[in-house]
Structure 1
């Protein structure tokens, strides 16, 4: 082998190594570039929820709320509980298009997850309840859901043997066995349903290796195309209301927040969906009309962003969204009073 040939081979190998390292460090710098920008727009899920002054959390109250969340006697048939629709073992949803209540009655909307609901600005997809306490008593009284009056609910709990649990949960109150305290107990339990510790949380806190190259590319698409304008903060959404309609909707369908306010501007306006654990909360949208995350991303692109994502872009955004799945603590079925 001549000196010229050896020189050419050495030069070729050197150039190959140089180009490889350049590509690697460019990719690393791009990954690092997105981390601080993302950290300024999103935040990790806090390990604890804010607690209202008028409903401090105690072990006894959380225990009572845990029991009440699983208590089927809070429904007219004695079959349906809060956990029937907000299944704690299924990311807090029932995976149905719309919820099913008493006697197989269909609710008008898809079931939102109960996980991380303590951080939401308003409860229900139309925001008709401001707090978890207010939300907790709604389904119990709604005809298509559990269909009981407050009086009937408390009478059933009295007969079942719940009074001592209420006394322990609200020791400073003389009139402790009330429907309002039922709501406070359920809300206290729901404030423990938090899923922090996702790969994206790790990334936001400085672990640049927490996301893969495709996941970072999905984050970049998510930010570059304006998804973050609505889906931001710790939950990537859940704090604002936006107009949303798509091809699956028909004239006369659910008009969202308009049903609460009666204002023309609120027709087809819904609470922006929080995206934490979105991989596990299918089907999607208020009507459950998108079966897969890929379908939901494509619809959001065309209906909200006037942007048609190609297959690779959809897959990368979905890869990013899957990094939002946090850690679920085991929630056992409690032993109920009988």
Structure 2
């Protein structure tokens, strides 16, 4: 959208505000649901999933847990351009936040996992992440700890076995409690008009009128709505922008790496903007360090718009209104095995794996 088009829309926004019906300007958004729990997400299952989420023994070196890259003590990411896994190895992509990940139609930047459960399986056996050779090895680690077996039986039944399906089912149940409702935007949508500052309201209007809501709409500002199908947006849309070269935005083919379809080149899942102020650095490659710069990059490469400093300030103010209330988390005490480690020395580990 060009400046001329945007200029036609903004006076209408001002007029509606004067009329006192600013609700119209939030038509592309919706309050974040206060629960994402599914039937069967019992407290016992959630607690088991929490322990597995925090347990580094599910990695080959015993040093990397789900929380290592998706730190729920902060923004649900790790603050790195790309995450570091076992043995100091790094992958090619930035770790998305785990907060509000239940409100997505697919997981990973390229959408290669349809569900939270499917997503949880991947990093365990990725060589640059948790580095296990196979899911059987993960389950072997869990079975080596008697208290885990007891907890699995308590959640899934005495006759159930410790399986990878049950393990990721529990992890997903825990991740579904990681939601952050009641942000200023949510309160504003609930007609608490003083919940957002004037700068935040200006930023919201600019966000809509400039065209950002073509992708960033709905309760999580990622296009997701209940029962919506996964969608992927081209990035960058304006390939001749100077930002494309500066931040190497076309080095990663994105969705086509997962789909095998060249038509999906440079398509990515639209990330949530909830708590975006806490998840720098930005984009799939983590190359952009500040939110203000990310706004400039997105406007230029997606909408062919050059933002003024005042507009950037208003947009970042609006994004501050997306920081919700974080639930209180009590960190788990992980079960152990008395007198013997489940993390074996390298030589013993190789011998066991080869047998």
- TM-score of the two chains, using structure 2 as the length reference: 0.83
Tell me how far 1:176 sits from its aligned partner: 3.1
SS of alignment partner, residue 251 of structure 2: coil
SS of alignment partner, residue 193 of structure 2: coil
Tell me whether 71-80 or 245-254 shows the greater mean CA deviation. 245-254
Counterpart for residue 211 of structure 2 = 226
Aligned equivalents of 2:295, 2:247: Cα separation in 1: 17
Tell me how far 1:169 sits from its aligned partner: 1.1
Tell me how far 1:31 sits from its aligned partner: 8.4
1:121-270 correspondence runs (5 A): 121-148=105-132, 149-161=134-146, 162-171=148-157, 174-237=159-222, 239=224, 240-245=231-236, 246-250=244-248, 253-270=251-268
Q: Is residue 250–residue 266 contact of structure 2 (8 Å, CA) maintained in 1?
A: no
- Cα deviation, 1:151-191, whole Å, max 9, x if unaligned, reads 111111111221001001112x7233111100100000000
Counterpart for residue 314 of structure 2 = 316
Q: Is residue 50–residue 118 contact of structure 1 (8 Å, CA) maintained in 2?
A: no
Counterpart for residue 20 of structure 1 = none
Q: Is residue 257–residue 266 contact of structure 1 (8 Å, CA) maintained in 2?
A: yes
Tell me how far 1:37 sits from its aligned partner: 3.3
SS of alignment partner, residue 83 of structure 1: helix
Compared CA separation, residues 163 and 50, structure 1 to 2 (3 A): closer
Q: Which residue, out of 33, 37, 45, partners 1:46?
A: 33
Aligned equivalents of 1:247, 1:41: Cα separation in 2: 32
Count of residue pairs brought into register by the alignment: 308
Compared CA separation, residues 61 and 312, structure 1 to 2 (3 A): same
Compared CA separation, residues 82 and 189, structure 1 to 2 (3 A): same
Q: Is residue 238–residue 271 contact of structure 1 (8 Å, CA) maintained in 2?
A: no
SS of alignment partner, residue 242 of structure 1: strand
Counterpart for residue 65 of structure 2 = 81
Compared CA separation, residues 294 and 30, structure 1 to 2 (3 A): farther
Q: Is residue 25–residue 205 contact of structure 2 (8 Å, CA) maintained in 1?
A: no
Compared CA separation, residues 92 and 250, structure 1 to 2 (3 A): closer
Aligned equivalents of 1:218, 1:264: Cα separation in 2: 36
Counterpart for residue 84 of structure 2 = 100
Q: Which residue, out of 279, 296, 299, partners 1:298?
A: 296
- Structure (1 or 2) with the larger CA radius of gyration: 1
Q: Unpaired runs of 5+ in structure 1? A: 1-25
Tell me how far 1:29 sits from its aligned partner: 3.5
Instruction: Name the Cα RMSD after superposition.
Output: 1.7
Q: Is residue 254–residue 264 contact of structure 2 (8 Å, CA) maintained in 1?
A: yes
Tell me how far 1:50 sits from its aligned partner: 5.2
User: Is 2:323 the partner of 1:325?
Assistant: yes
Q: Which residue, out of 52, 62, 69, partners 2:53?
A: 69
- TM-score of the two chains, using structure 1 as the length reference: 0.87
Counterpart for residue 36 of structure 1 = 24
Q: Is residue 85–residue 93 contact of structure 1 (8 Å, CA) maintained in 2?
A: yes
